[in-house]
Every structure is written in structure tokens, then in C-alpha cells.
Amino acid sequence: MGKKDAKRQRQATDSAAANGDAPHSGGELAERVNETAALEQYWELGRRSHPGKPPKNYHYVEELAKLQFEMLKLQEWVRRKGLRVCVLFEGRDAAGKGGVITRITQSLNPRYCRVVALGTPTERERGQWYFQRYVAQLPAAGEIVLFDRSWYNRAGVEHVMGFCTAQEYDDFLRACPAFEEMLIRSGMVLVKYWFSVSDEEQERRFQERMRNPVKRWKLSAMDLEARRRWVDYSRAKDAMFAATDTRTSPWNVVDADDKKRARLNCIAHLLTQVAYHDMVPVEIDLPPRQGDQGYKRPKFSKQKFVPALY
């Protein structure tokens, strides 16, 4: 299939996703049973994929669409090969981690890509091995898991706010590199991102959240306290990097003062972390609808419709 055909297929896919099209729940079970075999015929395997450099006068939306299409190929490659991909997103409050995660997952199949954002540990979890509740969320074969904050909470908020003891903090810094090396040696692809934002830009974003009622929920009392302890968090981040920025599991720092550039740079880098092959969607024919065979739809008056306010 040519580039134009692939582009038309992508546009059709993006349009369906934008309109919220999804399979009817009645056919979901059959769809899952046949899914693996069905997906195989929707893609043509090409050579190793090498996303090109963007033009100097690139347009943000166009570049984002290209990267999201590449992420679709990467996801299909991960599913086919049974790879396990784990991506950690850490950084200052209001650094844009959530925005990048949203753009990554926007066009992906949620059955094979999921986001983990754990809340405050329960009383039972506090009595577990520290890494235990995170291990339960790690990817299985064919999955991509994105951690919106991760086990590095202990090196950041827990340490600065006094939610862990000095001994627990020291134990974490010693154990974390070995824990991550164990994951990588098991065959997992582990990628760690730190979103770096300047003092001035974070303040501007906090002010925006305070004024914007739609974004106000993003601003918590903990965020305000973290803002007050900016230097303490800086020291904690430096100590964390010194202990866990290893050759086996390095930190990848994203300059996040410009949100749009940060999104594009992060996704483009993520695409280089898995040696996936080009996956081109093939053209498919829509089968004819089954005949009525005497079926009569129930009267509209017998069904409770949502009021048509728009």
C-alpha cells in the first residue's frame, strides 16, 4: 500500500477516534476472541522504522499526528512480539507530565496500553515491601504501562514531606538501582522521564490553575506546600539522580517550559527506545450488513432516550 493509502487510512482512524466510535458491547466477546487473528491481517510488516527529523517550519498538530501514528505501529509491534514496556513520568508539579501521557494514549488501544496513577497507600500497603504495590502494576507480555508518578515518590514527596523515615529513604536509594536492573534483566523495556520546569514557568502555571475553574482541581494543598519547599525538592531530585541515574537505567530529562515542544520531544524519544518495525495498515472491505430476516425494531416510544438538548 502506498503512502497516500496509508494516510487515508490514518485519517479515517483518527476521525473515528475523534468521534468516539467504538464497537457495540453486544459483539465485544466475539471481538475479543477473534481479535488476535483479526489484527494480523490489518497490518503489513515493513522494515525497521526510523521516524525522520521534523522540518524547521513544522506545525505542532501535524507533527503530533505523525508521532501518534508511529506510536500505533510501536504498540502493534509490542503486542505482536510480546514485549513489556514500562515508562515512568516524574517531575515537578505542573511540569506537563499528564499532558504528554494524554497525547501518547490518545490513539492507542487501551487494552494494550494503560496508565497507572496510584493514590495514597492504604494501611495494608504501608505494611508491604515498598515496591510491592508497583510490581502488581507492571506490564505483562504485549503491554505498555505508563506510570504517572511511580516508586520514586519515596525519593521525592515522601522524603521532603516526612512521610517516610530516614532509614526507609536510604534503603530506597540503595535498593532502587538493583530493583530496576532486575526488571531490565528480565527483558522489560524501562524508560524514565524527568520533566524539568523553571521556577517562573511553574508559578505561571499555578497562577493559571488558580484562575481557571476547569483546571482548579489540579491544584492541591500538597502542590502549594511543594511550591513553598522548592529548594528542598531540588536537593531531593539531585540526590535521587545521583543514586539512580545509572548506565543501565538512565534518567531522560525533558525541558518542559514549552509544553508543546516537550510533548513532541518526549514522544519522539520514546519511539527510539523500542526497535519496532514499520507497520502499515492494509485496506479492508466492509462486509455487507446481515439481512433483516423478519426482525422488527421495537417502537421508539418503548425506549427511554436521553433528552436531545443539543
Q: Which pLDDT tens digit goes with each residue over 71-110?
A: 999 999 999 999 999 999 999 999 999 999 999 999 999 9
Residue 241 falls inside a structural domain: yes
Residues in the chain predicted with pLDDT less than 70, given as ranges, are 1-51
Residue 170 falls inside a structural domain: yes
What residues make up the domain containing 250?
Answer: 3-19+27-284
What's the confidence (pLDDT) of residue 114? 97
What's the confidence (pLDDT) of residue 55? 84
What's the confidence (pLDDT) of residue 115? 98
CA distance 75 to 238: 33
Residue 142 falls inside a structural domain: yes
Residue 307 falls inside a structural domain: no
Q: Is 282 left (phi over 0), alpha (psi -120 to 50) or beta?
A: beta
* pTM confidence score: 0.80
Residue 299 falls inside a structural domain: no
Supply the CATH number for residue 70's domain: 3.40.50.300
Residue 305 falls inside a structural domain: no
Sign of torsion, CA 56 260 61 213? negative
Indicate the number of domains in the chain.
1
What's the confidence (pLDDT) of residue 5? 52
Residue 294 falls inside a structural domain: no
Residue 295 falls inside a structural domain: no
